[in-house]
Amino acid sequence: MEYSQHAFLKELGITEENSGLYNGKWGGKGDLIKCINPTTGNVIATVRGATSEEYEETIQAMIAAKTKWALTPAPKRGEIVRLIGESLRAKIVPLAKLISLEMGKIFIEAKGEVQEFIDVCDFATGLSRSINGQVMPSERPGHVLLENWNPLGLVGIITAFNFPCAVLGWNAAISLICGNVQLWKGASSTSLITVAVTKIVVEVLEKNGFDGAICSTIIGPGRTVGEKMIQDKRFGLISFTGSTDVGRRISQVVHSNFGRTILELGGNNAIIVAEDANVELALRAVLFASVGTTGQRCTTCRRLFVHESHYDAVLERLKKAYSTVKIGDPLVEGTLVGPLHTAAAVKEYTEGIEEIIKQGGKIAYGGKKIDRAGGFFVEPTLVEINHDAPIVKTELFVPILYVMKFKNLDDAFEWNNEVPQGLSSSLFTNNQMNIFKWMGPTGSDCGIVNVNVATNGAEIGGGFGGHKETGDGIESGSDAWKQYMRRSTCTINYSTSMPLSQGIEFGN
């Protein structure tokens, strides 16, 4: 194992063998999970997953902790979340190194991911003092109408490998200030990150006199642990980040039990470079949006529509830019593209290239697997292809960018919307008429609609989520907190009479 090669693991409480269950105490009697370094293909350390029996023990521990947390004043809950953010800030460097080591994204991106968790803790702390409901005028004298918000109770959070820290933060920080207890199931392939983040969070809870089961963690395969979570009617909400196929099943199961979901699924995001665009600005945005995180962001740019007047120049400059991208160990300074996360992702890449060629696509740059000391490396790839090729409508979670030419901007808007996914989109233009049309009912149908910025890099203050096969629900900012609470409309009669609504009179 590589454990002894990485001193920062000890700073995070990671050992060679780790427990994969926390519910107020550490446990794990299930299968052994080998945690792989995608840069080398070697095992870093191991985690012992949870059993079905331990799952039920965890739910009972959460239920036992629920009432005290729900009755804790929201500003006090916000203070705990603030302290969690401070603890994350103190360990941002070793956490970022662990994300680079186990997930594969470059260190500066990994550090930005931890910063997102810290930022949303700050956001949630302020929110804990401003959650409110409306007070509405009643049509009956001596009456008042108001909204009241209470916790859902139990919340399940299932996160993906590509953002193994930040997505927990988007959900957990908001859910906690709302008064919920939660169960986090991180991706098995990033189990060390799940363990490390859990240790930081529960240390804050326990130091401040709260049961650590408020933030329980369970590690195990989705077909067992994940299935139990989505079938469990005791959860008021399941938040899931992952593939559209899995999300579709989760939606069917949870909604059949009248539960709630937040689903952040596939993204097949487009950037449009209009005739009047600032091309220099667009090129910088396209490069990071397409090769950042080795194409493994849900907001990665996968389709680029370029006006015919700029097409040849943009393609040539992108090819030149791609040729200068340094590929290698994500922990080495200067690396811009790390490995894919798994060997399965490399297979998706190579098979995707084969299918692209079958469908008439032309490889303009890249297109090859890189053989490098057991790691999972590929070349970031540019492809010229028609917008209506079937594969263009399929999200390949790898660094392949389709480059397509358009003449009329209305066509580009239509092509942006013709895919099943609807997460993020960007238009580069200096024409205000184009901007407001892009934002309007005949513009982009995505949940994130950008102008003169890339498709990736969303800020925590805005709600994050998409439409169509991207799923439903939003995470992080705006009024996302409402999804983690139940609303009651309360009518209070402070008079000595009993008037009925709508002027109805019943008896004397």
Question: For 115-157, how does the pLDDT look when each residue is reduced to its tens digit (9 = 90+)?
Answer: 999 999 999 999 999 999 999 999 999 999 999 999 999 999 9
Return the amino acid letter for 368: K
Query: pLDDT band for position 468 (50/70/90)?
Result: very high
CATH topology of domain 269-464: Aldehyde Dehydrogenase; Chain A, domain 2 (3.40.309)
* 196 phi/psi in degrees, rounded to 5: -65, -45
Q: What is the DSSP code string of 406-426?
A: ESSHHHHHHHHHTSSEESEEE
* Reduced DSSP (H G I as helix, E B as strand, rest coil) percent helix, strand, coil of the chain, to 5: 40, 25, 35
Among residues 219, 118, 130, 238, the alpha carbon closest in space to that of 177 is found at 130
| Distance, C-alpha 277 to centroid of its chain | 30
pLDDT over threshold 80, residue 107? yes
The confidence score (pLDDT) of residue 508 equals: 56
The confidence score (pLDDT) of residue 503 equals: 82
Q: Out of 54, 113, 116, 264, which one is annotated catalytic?
A: 264
pLDDT 10s digits, 401-443: 999 999 999 999 999 999 999 999 999 999 999 999 999 999 9
Distances (CA, A) of 156 to 62, 234, 236: 11, 10, 8
pLDDT over threshold 70, residue 189? yes
**Distance between CA atoms of 353 and 326, rounded to whole angstroms?**
21
Could you tell me if 501 and 145 are in contact, meaning their C-beta atoms sit under 8 angstroms apart?
no
Could you tell me if 401 and 378 are in contact, meaning their C-beta atoms sit under 8 angstroms apart?
no
Return the amino acid letter for 212: G
pLDDT over threshold 90, residue 223? no
pLDDT over threshold 80, residue 358? yes
Q: Which two tokens stand for residue 112?
A: 């930005």
pLDDT 10s digits, 31-65: 999 999 999 999 999 999 999 899 999 999 999 99
pLDDT over threshold 60, residue 196? yes
Task: Please report, rounded to a whole number, the percentage of residues in the chain having pLDDT higher than 70.
Answer: 100
The continuous run of DSSP H or E covering 198 comes out as helix 191-207
Q: Which two tokens stand for residue 7?
A: 């001193």
pLDDT over threshold 70, residue 301? yes
Segment 215-234 mean pLDDT: 93
The position carrying tokens 């959460």 is 62
Segment 147-173 mean pLDDT: 98
Assess whether 264 carries a catalytic annotation: yes
The confidence score (pLDDT) of residue 373 equals: 81
pLDDT 10s digits, 470-488: 998 999 999 999 999 999 9
Residue 258 backbone zone (phi > 0: left; psi -120 to 50: alpha; other: beta): left
Residues 6+ apart with CB under 8 A from 25: 212
**Distance between CA atoms of 387 and 436, rounded to whole angstroms?**
24
Q: How many CB atoms lie within 10 A of CB 148?
A: 12
Collapse the DSSP code of 97 into the 3-class scheme (helix H, G, I; strand E, B; otherwise coil) and give the result.
helix
Among residues 172, 214, 4, the alpha carbon closest in space to that of 88 is found at 172
**Distance between CA atoms of 116 and 85, rounded to whole angstroms?**
10
Q: Give span(s): CATH 3.40.605.10, the chain.
A: 3-265+471-488
**Distance between CA atoms of 98 and 337, rounded to whole angstroms?**
16
Q: Which two tokens stand for residue 255?
A: 């909604």
Q: Give span(s): CATH 3.40.309.10, the chain.
A: 269-464
Segment 194-211 mean pLDDT: 98
Task: Please report, rounded to a whole number, the percentage of residues in the chain having pLDDT higher than 90.
Answer: 96
pLDDT 10s digits, 64-81: 999 999 999 999 999 999
Report the CATH number of the 3-265+471-488 domain.
3.40.605.10
